Amino acid sequence: MNVLFWVLSLVSVFLGVSTAVLLLRYTVLSLFAIYNYLSKLIDISPSYFLIHPISALLCIGAGINSVVKTLSRGGTEWRGTFYPLEVLKKHI
């Protein structure tokens, strides 16, 4: 669903403000429908819909933090072993 939101948001930049508003409304209503449906299947509150933007921002922040740390250190450490970016790029 988040992918749909980002694609529609990117497209709406080129289509104008009124289209952006319509796409945003569609996205918000879709997210509400998904959380409402899930609340009937599993034991969650439909009000989780309200904290969805916060959790999305936290995920984006975690990703940016990982990228910044990896680039500033020149690699990443996993299970006590440091892997330089050159080695990681070589095995892609």
Higher pLDDT, 38 or 46: 38
Pick from 21-25, 56-60, 69-73: least confident: 21-25
On whether the CB atoms of residues 67 and 37 are closer than 8 A, the answer is: no
Q: Is 91 helix (H, G, I), strand (E, B) or coil?
A: coil
Pick from 29-33, 35-39, 46-50, 79-83: least confident: 46-50
In angstroms, the Cα distances linking 50 to 28, 36, 56 are 10, 12, 11
Q: What is the pLDDT of residue 10?
A: 64
What is the reported pTM? Answer: 0.58
Distinct helix (H) and strand (E) counts, the chain: 4, 2
Cα gap 67→69, rounded to integer Å: 6
